[in-house]
Structure 1
Amino acid sequence: MSKPRKPKGRPVSGWLILDKPEDFGSTEAVSKIKWLFNAQKCGHAGTLDPLASGMLPIALGDATKTVPYVMDGRKVYEFAVSWGEERSTDDLEGEATLTSDKRPTEAEISALLPNYTGTINQVPPQFSAIKIAGERAYDLARDGETVDIPSREVEIHRITLLKAETDRALFEVECGKGTYVRSLARDFGRDLGCYGHVSELRRTFVAPFSEERMVPLADLVALEEIEDREERLAALDAYLIDTAEALSSLPHLPITDDQAHRLRMGNPIIVRGRDAPLEEADAYATARGRLIAIGEIGQGEFRPKRVFG
């Protein structure tokens, strides 16, 4: 019987909050970070279009187990909508499909925004990762097919008009999971009767990570000049954020070393104390400041769902 293959790379864990440059895909960014850090595992928490820049949280090692909790978090985008053209991709990359000489006034734009606040129905772009009959919508669109993508509910917490110019307007939006900014631009243009598409897009926040935590890719690439491998990796690791920070919105349960051992074995532990949570679908446990498990609390027990080494 053959031995299991040893994973390539280091078992390094943590979150890197990358400031992704434009014209660089999210998958490409993950591959670059995995190579730079010589990491065994790597993944991102929410695709950012190649034409967009900004925050791309990347999980290394055990932090990949916390990706769903970041994916569900609120996001903030700054974006520009250029008026007069609707495009096949709803951004600069596509061809113009509809045009108009009309340009909206600042008052018309401001009056529109309340219609896009709260829970709204949104149709994703034709060029999106939505699956239609098992295939990605963008693959079908590249083959020249026009597909009927059903609308879905998304949450817009706030949207602000930052600046209105003759041919474009700048916005900031705070939204929930699954929101397409390109769809917002398309729908703004249709409602205003002038058509529109996203011409600039930058993500500045993915809960719980703030803009100040972002690291430009160029800063990481510059460390390749360090010849000593251990010194270079140590310099890269200094940019990593502790895995548990991704779970800051969840209830926290400090535990003992003995309890940590039980959780690592897959066993539940008893939850005691006046301030202990009673019922929680998701909570996390730490021992001596180190993340041990994510689990659920009920009937006086913490039951592990994901365990960390």
Structure 2
Amino acid sequence: MGRKRKGRDISGWLVVDKPAGPTSTAVVNKVRWAMNAQKAGHAGTLDPEATGVLAIALGEATKTVPYVTDALKAYAFTVRLGQATNTDDAEGEVISESDTRPTDEEIKAALGQFVGDIEQVPPQFSAVKIDGQRAYKMARDGESLELAARPLWVEELVMTDRPDADHVTLEMTCGKGGYVRSIARDLGRALGCFGHVVSLRRVWSGPFEAVDGLSMEQIEEMAGSEALDAHLLPLETGLADLPELRCTPEGETRLRNGNPGMVLASDVEYGDECWASSGGKAVAVGIYKSGELHPSRVFNQRG
């Protein structure tokens, strides 16, 4: 028999407005402690110096993490022009400099090449794995890495401010797996002046927004209280991008046992990924086929 997890069997989402400094893992651990939860995870890593929305999944909600990770996200960030660093952000060492400074019009014209389906090479200091090792660990050891380009969907990239000749503020909406540091690096190269990120904030991620997030101070103050529990969003929030189908009574029983179950559907097609509900609570996620949902994940929510 497996050892029972310590903590409460609690499920849902807590939105944190992450400050600069702690790692995403440290924030997850703090939330798990504050809510005395058995299980917790996050939907998309933020670099330690980045701020903004970090959505923490608790309990059964961890099964919905992939659907939030795959959703669109928006970032606001400032690029320092004229300098490249080995980390592509302000934490690294300056490795190249230029006196060239592009005009606002030149910057706006260059942004178009980073919109749509693009190929992006991750930063040398990133969590990408090479032969089982994290790239940042190899880079710290002084290794020069040849990282493969990865596809990224960028829905929008716009200039929002030009505080001075050395800085430009941008906003980007993109899909899964995007590196803002790579955008800053590649934009600097395209403009012939180099560039790196000096500040980064994730404004929203899927259904979650930073303005709705709790600060780390608030989480510590409310730790172990019903006041903190009141900020917990339903597990179903993480399924916002999938169609919802209602179970029949017999279908619910079959789905809870991991078998295909009958659902009531109207606006979905054969092969669509959907989630089935009973009384508003998620029962399972799966593929819709001929009146049935074939489950890939089954939820066991108490209450």
**Offset, 1:233:** 3.1
**Structure-2 residue corresponding to 1:227:** none
- Mapped pair 1:220 → 2:219: yes
**Offset, 1:201:** 0.2
**Structure-1 residue corresponding to 2:246:** 254
**Offset, 1:272:** 4.8
Within a 5 Å distance, the mapping from 1:19-34 to structure 2 comes to 19-34=17-32
TM normalised by structure 1 equals 0.93
Secondary structure class of the residue paired with 1:50: coil
**Structure-1 residue corresponding to 2:199:** 200
**Structure-2 residue corresponding to 1:187:** 186
Letter aligned with residue 221 of structure 1:
E
Aligned residue pair count: 299
Distance 2:295 2:13 in 1: 22
Q: 1:276/1:102 Cα in 2 relative to 1: closer, same or farther (>3 Å)?
A: closer
**Offset, 1:276:** 5.7
CA contact (8 A) 2:286 2:297 kept: yes
Q: Among residues 223, 238, 250, which one is paired with 2:230 in the alignment?
A: 238
Q: 1:203/1:18 Cα in 2 relative to 1: closer, same or farther (>3 Å)?
A: same
TM normalised by structure 2 equals 0.95
**Offset, 1:4:** 2.7
**Structure-1 residue corresponding to 2:14:** 16
Letter aligned with residue 201 of structure 1:
L
Secondary structure class of the residue paired with 1:6: coil
Secondary structure class of the residue paired with 2:2: coil
Distance 1:27 1:112 in 2: 35
**Structure-2 residue corresponding to 1:286:** 277
Distance 2:44 2:146 in 1: 24
Deviations 1:118-140 (A, max 9, x none): 11111100000111111111010
**Structure-2 residue corresponding to 1:308:** 299
Distance 1:45 1:210 in 2: 13
- Mapped pair 1:72 → 2:70: yes
Secondary structure class of the residue paired with 2:208: coil
Distance 1:115 1:276 in 2: 36
Within a 5 Å distance, the mapping from 1:101-116 to structure 2 comes to 101-116=99-114
Secondary structure class of the residue paired with 1:62: helix
Distance 2:182 2:79 in 1: 11
Distance 1:223 1:297 in 2: 41
Structure 2 residue runs of 5 or longer lacking an equivalent are: none
Letter aligned with residue 25 of structure 2:
T
Letter aligned with residue 243 of structure 1:
L
Distance 2:271 2:21 in 1: 41
CA contact (8 A) 1:278 1:300 kept: no
Deviations 1:161-208 (A, max 9, x none): 011221100000001111100001001111111111000000011012
CA contact (8 A) 2:43 2:68 kept: yes
State the identity as a percent: 47
Secondary structure class of the residue paired with 1:245: helix
Cα RMSD, aligned residues only: 1.3
Deviations 1:192-239 (A, max 9, x none): 111110000000110122344322222111124xxxxxxx43211111
**Structure-2 residue corresponding to 1:140:** 138
Distance 2:159 2:137 in 1: 33
Secondary structure class of the residue paired with 1:80: strand
Letter aligned with residue 199 of structure 1:
V
Secondary structure class of the residue paired with 1:29: helix
Distance 1:258 1:234 in 2: 36
